[in-house]
Amino acid sequence: MATKNGSLQPLLVVGSIAFDSVKTPLGTAKKVIGGSSVYFSSAARFFASVKMIGVVGTDFPQSHLDDLKKLGIDTSGIVTHRGKTFHWKGFYEGDMNQAHTLKTDLNVFAQFRPVLSASDRNHEHVFLANIDPNLQMSVLKQVAKPRWIACDTMNYWIESQKSALLDVLKHVDISFMNDAEIRQLSGHSNLLRAARWVMKLGPSIVIVKKGEHGVLCVWKNRVFLFPAYLLEDVIDPTGAGDSFAGGFLGYLSRHKNAGEKEIKNALAHGAIVASFNVQSFGNERLAKLSQEEITSRYGFYKKMISLV
Ligand code: AMP
């Protein structure tokens, strides 16, 4: 576990910390803890020593922060501002591959400008989780010499802050987007063309998430396709992308080289932790997850994708 192993690499994340209200074909959840950086951190903690940067409102229960701390996540970079916590309301239907947003209340995130401490600035691994690209950029400018920076985004920011997002992508090593988002941003309906278009902006690894169909990863002149770990009991796909990124980047941060073997294993670990995440609303399943369960499911996954 991340909390017990001093050798884990530090990983800094900025992103949304939210109340989510979600409806899926299997149920409804009102104002459960969510947000891109919560899902990311709940997954990445198994592989890295995670520090969250973000803001919550005065309505955010201290018990939620305590629960994150109990998972071994460093929450000292989360500040409380007067006002309401970010709130996202959405629903999924059919194959649940697409989130439909009903409401995005930025609330305290609208005015938030993070100031990194001296030690935060020295982080080598940084994840700019889904949030306003201007805020992602302000974190990016404060980190001194990162080994790699990764970022994620979504349609909301592609529509409202496209040029700021393109600026962020110029400084990023690894990009995450889902299929609809990368098509929307690049204007290419062919996913390989869309990924190559993003690569030209800056990232050397482009990951396209395709819901239950897994991910496409483009690196140098190579293309990797990894399936999702399929389950019959998908309760809520919210956070699947963020927890995938947590598994992927957490795994990668443990390796000095990011070659084919490491990238493929990182993709597999992303798929595994994301598969646990979709088995509950909020981060409930991830919060209960054990290293043993990850290892066991990884064994099944390897057999599932192996040719022999
Ligand atoms: P995903 O991994 O794409 O399913 O991310 C789901 C999370 O994104 C939810 O927990 C939401 O709180 C969060 N979210 C939704 N809209 C936004 C937004 N515009 N900016 C930042 N985070 C968001």
For residue 36, report the distance from its CA to the centre of ligand 1, in Å.
Answer: 5
Please list the residues that pair with 91 across neighbouring strands: 23, 100
Atom of ligand 1 nearest to the CA of 156: 19
pLDDT at 4: 39
Output the pTM of the full model. Answer: 0.96
SS3 state of residue 33: strand
277 Cβ closer than 6 Å to some ligand 1 atom: no
18 Cβ closer than 6 Å to some ligand 1 atom: yes
Atom of ligand 1 nearest to the CA of 239: 2
Over residues 114-167, the pLDDT tens digits come to: 999 999 999 999 999 999 999 999 999 999 989 999 999 999 999 999 999 999
Percentage of the residues of the chain whose pLDDT score is greater than 90: 93
For residue 303, report the distance from its CA to the centre of ligand 1, in Å.
Answer: 32
**Nearest Cα residue to atom 14 of ligand 1:** 35
What is the average pLDDT across 252-258?
91
Q: What Å distances lie between residue 181 and 9, 119, 140, 156, 175, CA to CA?
A: 30, 34, 22, 9, 12
132 Cβ closer than 6 Å to some ligand 1 atom: no
pLDDT at 109: 97
pLDDT at 154: 97
Q: How confident is the model at residue 100 (pLDDT cuts 50, 70, 90)?
A: very high
pLDDT at 308: 83
**Nearest Cα residue to atom 13 of ligand 1:** 35
pLDDT at 2: 37
Do 199 and 216 meet the contact criterion of CB atoms below 8 Å apart?
A: no
211 Cβ closer than 6 Å to some ligand 1 atom: no
37 Cβ closer than 6 Å to some ligand 1 atom: no
Closest among 150, 96, 170 to 258, alpha carbons compared: 150
Over residues 283-292, the pLDDT tens digits come to: 999 999 999 9
Q: How confident is the model at residue 178 (pLDDT cuts 50, 70, 90)?
A: very high
153 Cβ closer than 6 Å to some ligand 1 atom: no
Closest among 248, 226, 229, 237 to 277, alpha carbons compared: 237
Over residues 198-217, the pLDDT tens digits come to: 999 999 999 999 999 999 99
161 Cβ closer than 6 Å to some ligand 1 atom: no
For residue 130, report the distance from its CA to the centre of ligand 1, in Å.
Answer: 6
Atom of ligand 1 nearest to the CA of 20: 12
